[in-house]
Amino acid sequence: MTTVAPTVGDRSDMGSTSTNETSTLIASDRVEGTAVRRPDGDSLGRIERLMIEKKSGRVAYAVMSFGGFLGLGEGYYTVPWGALRFNPELDAYELDLTEEQLRNAPQRTAEGQDPSFDRAWEEHVHRYYNAHPYWMA
């Protein structure tokens, strides 16, 4: 009997624990869609995307949606990955911000501008969230 290894792009084994989650690792598709909550459990939004630095492989940011109803009027925020902590009791990522702080947070531009082209903007975002810059790890 011959066993054929899955090819790149083959998602037939994506349900196995070894490809989606271990005790210390999680697949990006399991993070996308995860709730973001305050420490008290109140909902802030959800993670839409992870932005990964190509050279180092580090997760730099989570793109978080906030507000709106049925996808209308949502805002998208680039949150430094270091500002989020997974809380297993909430089954969510935790971010300790008030609604006002979040509404005043640096927001992604409508044009979809890549924030990594502007180090001053990245520094501003990391200061706002009091997060250690990913490029200084």
Q: What is the pLDDT of residues 51-67, one digit of tens each?
A: 998 988 999 999 998 87
> What's CA 56's distance to the chain center, in Å?
17
Please indicate, yes or no, if residue 16 is contained in any of the structural domains: no
* pLDDT given at position 68: 66
Q: What's the pTM value of the predicted model, to 2 decimals?
A: 0.75
**In the chain, how many domains are there?**
1
Q: Is residue 8 part of a domain?
A: no
Instruction: Read off the pLDDT of residues 14-27 as tens digits, 9 standing for 90 and up.
Output: 444 456 677 778 88
The owner of tokens 């200061």 is: 127
Q: What is the DSSP letter of 82?
A: G
pLDDT at residue number 62:
94
Residue 18 domain-assigned (yes or no): no
Contacts with 47 (C-beta within 8 Å, 6 or more apart), sequence order? 31, 32, 33, 34, 36, 62, 63, 64, 93
Q: What is the CATH number of the domain that holds 40?
A: 2.30.30.240
Taking the chain (137 residues) in runs of 10, the rounded mean pLDDT of each run is 41 50 82 94 93 91 80 79 94 91 75 64 92 88
Which residue range(s) make up the domain with 75?
Answer: 25-136
In a domain, 3, yes or no: no
Residues 19-38: b if buried by 16+ CB within 10 A, e if exposed:
eeeeeeeeeeeebeebebbb
Q: How many CB atoms lie within 10 A of CB 91?
A: 10
Q: d(Cα 45, Cα 102) in Å, to the nearest integer?
A: 10
